[in-house]
Structure 1
Amino acid sequence: MPAARADAWRGLTADARRWAAGKADRAAVERAFADIVVLEEFHAYPGARLMATLRDRLAAGSAEGFRNLAERVSQAVVTRSYKHDEGDWDVAESAADRMPDLGLPAHGSGGQHRPFFEMLLVSPHGGTRGAQQSAELRKLRRSEDAFIYETVPVGSFEDAICAAIMNPGIAAVTIYEGFDFASHHDAPVLRSVIAARGIDAADVDEGDLALGLASELKRLRPELDIYLLSDRKVESLAGHPQAGALRRVLYSVEEMLELHLSVLEGVAERFRTPFFDNLKHYATRPISTFHALPIARGKSVFKSDWIRDMGEFYGLNIFLAESSATTGGLDSLLEPTGNIKEAQEMAARAFGADRCFFVTNGTSTSNKMVHQAVVAPGEIVILDRNCHKSHHYGMVLGGAQPLYVEAFPMTEYSMYGAVPLASIKQALLDLKAEGRLDRVRMVDLTNCTFDGHIYNTRRVMEECLAIKPDLVFLWDEAWFGFARFSPVLRPRTAMGAAAAIEAWMHDPASVAAYETQQAELGENPSRETLLATRLIPDPRQIRLRVYQTNSTHKSMSSLRQGSMILVKDVDYHTVESQFREAVFTHASTSPNQQLIASLDIARRQMELEGYGLVMNAIEISLSIRREINSHPLISKYFKVLGAEEMVPASYRQSGFSDFLTPGTTWADQIRSMNEDEFCLDPTRMTLVCGTAGFDGTEFKKLLADDYDIQLNKTSRNSVLLQSNINNTRSDIAQLLRVLLDISNAIEKRLAEGGEAGRVAFFARVKSLMEDVPDLPDFSHFHDAFRGDAGEMTVEGDMRTAFFAAYDPAACEYVPLFGEECDRRLAEGPEMVSANFVIPYPPGFPIMVPGQVITHETIDFMRKLDVKEIHGFNREKGLRLIRIEAVTAKSAR
């Protein structure tokens, strides 16, 4: 939307230039301006005066005057200079003609920059009364104010929702009672979005319209501070059940200063970064250090004849802000009691959790901490076999028994999707049938997956809780932390879904829904019936226990390895001591101060501008998809896969096909997010390169070496592009230029290579796109590592197998290629993996300790053409456990 707004202004100025040059008539300008007028009602800038001046010049036929002002406004919108340049707000063309003392946004005293934000002002007759209220608030500005803001006045419920959606600069909302529900605009798209969110005008109580709006705005953008001004009995209003969405209720007949100060205080609270602020102060103090960190204060660097360039490269502050002490105003990450504790509490609020823990050695460590804290040795964890290796190693370290469930395969692209809910329910029901449901402790899934598959987190948790009400859930959202700040994606996050379940549990209708379903199911429903039914848990029995790990550095402005653990666990008190031990086990006693500060800063940024940043990242990704797939030459050799290719139709119950399908609206996307079992994260784009004759690894290297374009994940015939809050439209242009260069080079090569060259090219494409190996499923653990496992499930004691391989006498090697491997597969004895084997790509363990190796796994490994396979020695072959040695040792 920010990009669309900028494009609209560029389009208007282009029309205005043609009009001024006599190359077009005024009609085109009038049409473009009419569209912009509606858009700008929901933004503070350009504001009523500038828009009225543009309208007057257009009506008077002043082509040159209109063009000059339109260009100036357009430049300010694109560069956002209006946030700090008072001149952008003035109608006058030159500084000499401007009226003094307008009270408009400006620098603070001495030219110091003050952050600028916008406040949505909802009141009856929004345009006229809102202008008066805005003028009153401007008069209250003082040079000592830390921030400066302008208002966006609207007069209806629908317009307020529209402004909150379209304007990412809004950081606060003030609501006066007495406004209308319906917008004066004909807005079918807006109304379809509102309807998709479950809002019906017929259901809105006019008497509580203000509170209803506050609740919906808070659901849409939870980071907003919302103030309600009423001339009713505010004491009783403040105690209303929906008043929880409000930061403060004010009596509207009182002076405006209280509102003004409250708004500034609310933004200041989010702006404050307890640890970073303290670290900046610490860096200014003349401290002598006698601790074990020579680099602190930078003397060993800047006084050196040999490493001074390091100091010049990084700057002085990074050394002044280093210390290994936890006193003198600093705090301990392992035992936080001061500013780190406060920073974590603020992050918990921002991300919708009850608790938050900062982790400075990555989400790999966060995952291991949760496993160690929550799961006891011998307990069962239902685990996606394709999840990050840290979960598997967490099982080894903690002694839990994994019950692997398989994601749906995407064989054509040599990757997996996500785990169908039916597979998870099947595992739980099998364990229940064997009388071992009590052994199950946790369900552990990746959301979203590396390739962008998003679970219906609420449905997964609700249906699993219907079978076992005290299940713990660990959602690895390493790549998805940013989603909290998108109203479209938030419901699919762990914390978003947990909040929805928590609210549902307290709704009296939840008990009725559960009891109705129980009556329909009867006393002993069959397994088939339970698998086919969308199960409703008993809200009276649920123990809501949700953990989310978040690689803050992967999608937000945190330094590398910055991670968070978010907790919403009603029984956290039962694992608190274990959690502390897990922190002591895995966290460094010398955590990096800059990492902690960056986590604090990342929270501040996302609370104050995350909505707009995420919106921009999504816009960029949709633009990339559209431009690549529609380009006449690039699309011959490259394609970004859509939802219909990444998610089977059986998991898209809404019928949603793709973001770029003609006629698709945001309402369709919201409906898909509400209904479908799996959705696709729009910011993660699978670019097929096999049709251009490149395997993923080869194409990744080409982009990095020849074009300075970096990316991470590859498959046999694709690479993964990610848009994030760091990307700009210039990045899109560079990517498209590079793909066009490569496409032109392919065209030239095919034209000059003759028939033999074309045959070779298409043979290469066929080998990459059609001759792909089948993806191997997990087989089973060897009986020696099954313990007391039942017959219906495949869990095993991976820890025992892992450490059995520490005895060299218990291991052997078998070459991957050769008669011995084939003979063992055909005749035995079974080959049992001694360790994890993880090829990159696809990046998940195709063998784990104790797993019986099958034909499917060997065939897959033999067809792999990747160089990086962790856990596999190409010279010696497969490292196996000699079962007879393990059993003999156990017998002793």
Structure 2
Amino acid sequence: MLDNVAIKVLIITDPGAGSGTYREALETLLGELTQLEVVVRRSTDADDATLALGSDASFDAVVVDVVGALDAETIVPAIRHRNDHIPVFVASGVRGAEDLSASVLARINQFIYLLDDTPEWIAGRIHDAAQKYRRAVLPPMFEALVDFSTTHEYSWHTPGHEGGTAFLKSPVGRAFWGFFGQQMFRSDLSVSVAEVGSLLDHSGPIGRAERRAAHVFGADMTFFVTNGTSTSNRVVHQASVTAGEVMALDRNAHKSMEQATTITHGLPIYLRPTRNHLGIIGPIPPSEMTAQAIAEKVRTSPLISDSEARPVIAMVTNSTYDGLLYHVPTVEATLGSHIDRLHFDEAWYGYAAFNPIYAERFALHTADRAADAPTTFATQSTHKLLAALSQASYVHIRNGRRPIDHDLFNEAFMMHASTSPLYAIIASNDVAAAMMAGSGGLALTAESIAEAVAFRRTLARVAAEEGPGGWMPRPWQPETVLGADGIVRLFHDADEQQLITRPEPWLLRENDAWHGFQLPDAYAMLDPIKVTVTTPGLANDGTPEQFGVPAAILSAYLDEQASIVVEKTQDYSVLFLFSIGVTRGKWGTLLSTLLQFKHDVDANKRLEEVLPALYSSNSRRYARMGLRDLAGQMHTAMSENRQLAALHEAFATLPTPVLSPADAYARLVHGETDRIKIDDLASHTLAVGIVPYPPGIPLMMPGEESGSSSGPLVSYLKALQGFDRQFPGFEHEIHGIDHVDGAYVTHVIRTDHV
């Protein structure tokens, strides 16, 4: 089991300290470790050791030599901050254990007095402890998978590649095998392998792994999902909603929620989120969540015949796609006071439980809950901002009012789970939970926040140096911060530790102009690790400014010049995610590229030089144009077609539902639809959802009516269509829309089948 990887030990020692006899004993010990094929790395002080442990997680033990200037009171807590379980030895030949504080003694595993025991004996102790640690660090399912995949058994079950052997019988198969490696195929197993347990009945090591993850995340139950949070969302609603029942859904929802309404035949009502001058989507205001507001939505819905019906579940996206976080106890006290089950789609927010800056801002928060609190579901994409393979997802459940039984929920789970899951995905869910357990979660999230804050402060400082007449891509964040000393400072001058550890600087205050939302004070919070960078072009009231640089140009520049792919691009903003995998070198490159972008816009660099791929595909359209020319043309077009204003008007309008999503889908399956151009869309009922990306919020859902040709819904789509025709290479991605010869085309239900 992983025996082919050498044990690795970090020794922290002051090379000039100690007597000759002591130094000789220490060097002999290191020689004995080498004889045991242990790789030894040396650090000379606490800072270097912290860097080593922070950048290399492969150490299996640490030896702290306290002879000389090294201070165990500093070094040992720093080690434990990163790792609760790695064996820590304190070595000395001068002082004894009686000279160490109780705090240090409680944090170490063993004390070594080098001049008492033989070097061979001490080396053996270190080696044995490192081996035990290496085995213990593996969580249950991953450990079972490793053990089974290394037994070299003959199998007579699926998958048919038989541990990769089948691939070796073909040239292309051999190339495939060589690319992924033997262990990938040895660990691709059948459900017939009882040793690793079953995902469908949650037995064996898989069941133990799910229970361990529930403990780590603070849930009553956790289910591992192997085909994404889209499936997790559908499972939650499959387990809660039956045909004709009402479900209250965030309109700021992933399209999997539309699919959930279709498969359950539930009847949706929608909770409308807020939106600011930049088009950034904020939380649903509490006024939308009250019993009175929900009752009015039910009463006025053309789809719901029972005006007294109550939703059986409510769904909220937390965080929003732009990183705005709810105060969850407020959601529980409003929406959860009259709806028995709350579902928080936290696909982009699985790390919140592990850092106190997010206290009370996530579904399974630990603040006091009312005795009659609703049952809560949290769905999280393990692969997005934790560390797991694509498609790995969690469903966490904390029971309250109208609790759900494990076996009952599993019936819904099995409707969507494959009977042939990829065990590597299951194992990555297991590993992700293990990484966040103990001190690991706090250390990893703290580093992520620290990197995001460092980038934010640096970009804000550089932008401030441009002065009032200059321009620069800027971070969207508070302009000032109230310090603990009562002094208000500019963001880039604020105390770094306060920004990293305290939620107060990130709260959306009611009267602050920077965020542009109309929300109760401190109801929402900006997540530090979700960094929106704005480009010039809009005033705070949303009106176009004279000079503008649409963000689509910045995104194209970052991609072509530095292979930087942003998470999301809106009209005048782009979003970057500072996950636990982000490094200082990575964001340093981003920062330097942003500075180069500003320089190249100001210099009006030729498009064939700075955007060669765009230019080569559209050379006639962009001939003799520079970067500033393109920005000017695009900004003018967006101002004249009122693109952002049209967006606000369209999303402020909830279309009239004519059919439920399930009934609209039935028309689609039966071929009772027509394919028409957007120019002819007026007064039609949609057969498919129309969902502009970004940010992926439904403009119209299946079964909803489009309105008049001059109405806000059709007008917005026409504005986007006109933009796409004018700027090839920058076309909008809209689910439910096909591009045919420059025209937008979609599917509608035939008038005689509505």
TM-score in same-fold range (> 0.5)? yes
3-state SS of the aligned residue for 1:450?
A: coil
3-state SS of the aligned residue for 2:258?
A: helix
Q: Deviations over 1:563-606 (max 9, x none)?
A: 00000013676554542222121111110010011111111111
Give the distance between the partners of 1:433 and 1:658, measured in 2 at CA: 49
- TM-superposed CA distance for 1:329, in Å, is 0.9
| Structure 1 contact 116–147 (Cα < 8 Å) conserved | no
Q: What residue identity is the alignment partner of 1:885?
A: H
Q: What residue identity is the alignment partner of 1:607?
A: A
> Which residues in structure 2 correspond to 1:452-601 (within 5 Å)?
452-466=323-337, 468=338, 471-496=340-365, 499-502=366-369, 505=370, 539=371, 542-570=372-400, 574=404, 576-601=406-431
Give the distance between the partners of 2:205 and 2:561, measured in 1 at CA: 46
- TM-superposed CA distance for 1:70, in Å, is 11
Q: Pick from 203, 207, 230 the counterpart of residue 364 of structure 1.
A: 230
Q: What residue identity is the alignment partner of 2:592?
A: R
> Which residues in structure 2 correspond to 1:683-832 (within 5 Å)?
683-689=529-535, 695-749=550-604, 761-762=631-632, 764-765=634-635, 767=637, 771-773=642-644, 774-775=646-647, 776-777=650-651, 779=653, 782=656, 784-785=658-659, 797-808=660-671, 810-817=672-679, 820-821=680-681, 824=682, 830-832=683-685
Q: Deviations over 1:47-94 (max 9, x none)?
A: 9x99999xxxxxxxxxxxxxxx9975543333339967868746579x
Range that drifts further, 576-585 or 377-386: 576-585
Give the distance between the partners of 1:353 and 1:86, measured in 2 at CA: 34
Give the distance between the partners of 2:319 and 2:265, measured in 1 at CA: 26
| Structure 1 contact 385–778 (Cα < 8 Å) conserved | no
Match of 1:880 in 2: 748
Range that drifts further, 694-703 or 361-370: 694-703
| Structure 2 contact 226–391 (Cα < 8 Å) conserved | yes
Give the distance between the partners of 2:109 and 2:662, measured in 1 at CA: 69
3-state SS of the aligned residue for 1:394?
A: helix
Match of 1:448 in 2: 319
Q: Pick from 475, 479, 488 the counterpart of residue 640 of structure 1.
A: 475
- TM-superposed CA distance for 1:316, in Å, is 1.2
- Unaligned 5+ runs, structure 1: 1-43, 54-68, 106-113, 120-124, 150-263, 506-538, 646-653, 786-796, 825-829, 887-892
| Structure 1 contact 442–473 (Cα < 8 Å) conserved | yes
Flag the 1:128–1:495 CA change in 2: closer, same or farther, 3 A: closer
> Which residues in structure 2 correspond to 1:246-645 (within 5 Å)?
271-410=137-276, 412-425=277-290, 426-430=292-296, 436=307, 438-466=309-337, 468=338, 471-496=340-365, 499-502=366-369, 505=370, 539=371, 542-570=372-400, 574=404, 576-608=406-438, 609-631=440-462, 636-643=471-478
| Structure 2 contact 530–575 (Cα < 8 Å) conserved | yes
Give the distance between the partners of 1:136 and 1:292, measured in 2 at CA: 45
Q: Deviations over 1:400-448 (max 9, x none)?
A: 11111211112x4333222111112152353698985552111101100
| Structure 2 contact 225–394 (Cα < 8 Å) conserved | yes
- TM-superposed CA distance for 1:288, in Å, is 1.7
3-state SS of the aligned residue for 2:163?
A: helix
Answering whether residue 686 of structure 2 is matched by residue 833 of structure 1, we say yes
Give the distance between the partners of 1:643 and 1:437, measured in 2 at CA: 44
| Structure 2 contact 225–392 (Cα < 8 Å) conserved | yes
Give the distance between the partners of 1:429 and 1:863, measured in 2 at CA: 35
Q: Pick from 109, 115, 119 the counterpart of residue 86 of structure 2.
A: 115
| Structure 2 contact 224–393 (Cα < 8 Å) conserved | yes
3-state SS of the aligned residue for 2:160?
A: coil
| Structure 1 contact 414–772 (Cα < 8 Å) conserved | no
Q: Deviations over 1:17-60 (max 9, x none)?
A: xxxxxxxxxxxxxxxxxxxxxxxxxxx9989x99999xxxxxxx
Give the distance between the partners of 2:105 and 2:673, measured in 1 at CA: 82
Give the distance between the partners of 2:380 and 2:52, measured in 1 at CA: 32
3-state SS of the aligned residue for 1:481?
A: coil
What is the alpha-carbon root mean square deviation over aligned residues? 4.4
Q: Pick from 822, 833, 853 the counterpart of residue 706 of structure 2.
A: 853
Flag the 1:744–1:679 CA change in 2: closer, same or farther, 3 A: same
- TM-superposed CA distance for 1:719, in Å, is 1.6
| Structure 2 contact 549–631 (Cα < 8 Å) conserved | no
- TM-superposed CA distance for 1:280, in Å, is 0.7
Q: Deviations over 1:594-640 (max 9, x none)?
A: 00111111111111412111111111111111112221578823111
3-state SS of the aligned residue for 1:391?
A: helix
- TM-superposed CA distance for 1:545, in Å, is 0.2
| Structure 1 contact 73–88 (Cα < 8 Å) conserved | no
Flag the 1:118–1:661 CA change in 2: closer, same or farther, 3 A: farther
Give the distance between the partners of 2:490 and 2:737, measured in 1 at CA: 39
- TM-superposed CA distance for 1:750, in Å, is 7.5
Give the distance between the partners of 1:128 and 1:742, measured in 2 at CA: 54
Match of 1:173 in 2: none
Give the distance between the partners of 1:274 and 1:593, measured in 2 at CA: 13
Q: What residue identity is the alignment partner of 2:49?
A: A
Answering whether residue 710 of structure 2 is matched by residue 844 of structure 1, we say no
Answering whether residue 77 of structure 2 is matched by residue 80 of structure 1, we say no
- TM-superposed CA distance for 1:709, in Å, is 1.6
Q: Deviations over 1:297-345 (max 9, x none)?
A: 2212235433322222222111111211333412211112111000000
Give the distance between the partners of 1:612 and 1:884, measured in 2 at CA: 61
3-state SS of the aligned residue for 1:851?
A: coil
Q: What residue identity is the alignment partner of 1:556?
A: L
- TM-superposed CA distance for 1:702, in Å, is 3.0
Q: Deviations over 1:444-476 (max 9, x none)?
A: 01100111010111111122333x1x5200000
Range that drifts further, 140-149 or 665-674: 140-149
| Structure 2 contact 653–712 (Cα < 8 Å) conserved | no
Q: What residue identity is the alignment partner of 2:712?
A: E
**Number of residue pairs aligned between Structure 1 and Structure 2:** 621
> Which residues in structure 2 correspond to 1:222-233 (within 5 Å)?
none
Flag the 1:798–1:832 CA change in 2: closer, same or farther, 3 A: same
Match of 1:862 in 2: 718
Q: What residue identity is the alignment partner of 2:570?
A: S
- TM-superposed CA distance for 1:382, in Å, is 1.4
Give the distance between the partners of 1:453 and 1:70, measured in 2 at CA: 41
Q: What residue identity is the alignment partner of 2:532?
A: T
Give the distance between the partners of 1:136 and 1:558, measured in 2 at CA: 31
3-state SS of the aligned residue for 1:631?
A: helix
| Structure 1 contact 782–832 (Cα < 8 Å) conserved | no
3-state SS of the aligned residue for 2:356?
A: coil
Q: Deviations over 1:770-828 (max 9, x none)?
A: 9433321364565753xxxxxxxxxxx322223233333x43344223xx55xx4xxxx
- TM-superposed CA distance for 1:867, in Å, is 3.4
Give the distance between the partners of 1:847 and 1:403, measured in 2 at CA: 13
Flag the 1:356–1:625 CA change in 2: closer, same or farther, 3 A: same
Match of 1:669 in 2: 503
3-state SS of the aligned residue for 2:316?
A: strand
Flag the 1:291–1:148 CA change in 2: closer, same or farther, 3 A: closer
| Structure 2 contact 657–704 (Cα < 8 Å) conserved | no
- Unaligned 5+ runs, structure 2: 1-9, 19-41, 78-84, 91-97, 114-121, 301-305, 481-485, 509-520, 538-546, 608-622, 725-730
Match of 2:540 in 1: none
> Identity of paired residues, percent?
24
